[in-house]
Amino acid sequence: MNKVHMFQYSMQISKDKLLSPRTFSLLIVVLFFFYTRLSPLREFAAMVGYNVTPWIFPFLLSNLSFQLTIAFCGAYFFSDVPYMQYKEMYQMIRCGRRKWAIAHIISILEVSVVLSLTMIVISILLLIPRLSLSFQWGEVINTLTQTNAAQSLPFAVSYKLIVAYTPLQATGISILLMIGIFFFLGLLMFAVSLFLSRLYAAVAVTFLTAYAVIIYNMPYYLQKKYSYISPLSWLNLANVTTRVQGMYTLPSYQYICAALLIFSILLSFIIVGRVKKMDCNWNNED
């Protein structure tokens, strides 16, 4: 199998995964979550007589409940890795263990991109009919960040965020962070499943989730120290480049990007090395 065929195979894996019943059930959960979070915002926009610009996603991403939702989505969506159905046995024989593993790693990245973009699109579409297309933050978001009106919302709308970033910058960084976190979670679950089981993979993500909650409830002066190994905490865009009570509570972008890259490369090598040596137990799962 050459590189072109390997990419075609990874795209087929992604297609099968994204069109599975698991994806549609997850989509229902995500739609419900976004709807409950964005309904108060639409009501506020109607009350003040202005529409909302499409740039609300970075504020959602900085909210703890949304970070926990990301972890749940990743754990649920990647809970069936590694894919050890009988049809995969023939693919492994055809392309070899190394390329089979690499194709599945690429597929996790492809799926991570689709999941992240889907969430962005949902967060925009659910603003209709109070949606206004603009490259500025807009009247509603500016009002929420500079008054106490945001207290009626189930998520924080941070003034620090609109000062530190333009709407396109904040949204672009949010997308990249989402992709990186989903990819990391998928690789982590893949690696743990290969060495132990899918149950332990779910436990690993649960531990990361609980750790993020613990850090969120720590005093500010302790948060940065312990957040260096908490990828879910890095999604709080508002606190990455700004101070809280005079101190930084999260690592820098340079550290976050380097850490996600290094973790992903290490996990990829671990996965490929394990697949080349392990005994495969194939099953009849769909």
Write out pLDDT tens, residues 89-115: 666 667 777 888 888 899 899 999 999
Q: Could you tell me if residue 282 is inside a domain? A: no
User: Does the pLDDT value for residue 285 go beyond 60?
Assistant: no
17 occurs within a structural domain: yes
3-state secondary structure of 244: strand
- Label residue 244 by pLDDT band (50, 70, 90): low
Q: Does position 183 have pLDDT exceeding 90, yes or no?
A: yes
**pLDDT at residue 147 in the model:** 78
Q: What pLDDT, on a 0 to 100 scale, did the predictor assign at position 125?
A: 92
Query: Rounded to an integer, what distance in angstroms lies between the CA atom of residue 223 and that of residue 215?
Result: 6
The answer to the question of residue 21 being in a domain is yes
> Is residue 239 one of the residues assigned to a domain?
yes
Retrieve residue 210's tokens.
Answer: 């609980």
Question: Is residue 36 pLDDT above 80, yes or no?
Answer: yes
Q: Has residue 82 been placed in a domain?
A: yes
Task: Return the exposure string of 130-155: e unless at least 16 CB atoms fall within 10 Å of the residue's CB, then b.
Answer: bbeeeeebbbbbbbbbeeeebeebeb
pLDDT given at position 234 = 85
Residue 23, domain member (yes or no): yes
Query: Is residue 286 in some structural domain?
Result: no
Range of the structural domain that residue 220 is part of: 3-277
- With bands split at pLDDT 50, 70 and 90, how would you rate the model's confidence at 268? very high
| Nearest of 178, 175, 170 to residue 67 by alpha carbon | 178
pLDDT at residue number 82: 64
pTM for the model stands at: 0.87
- Residue 284 included in any domain: no
Percentage of the chain lying above the pLDDT 70 cut: 88
Structural domains of the chain, count: 1
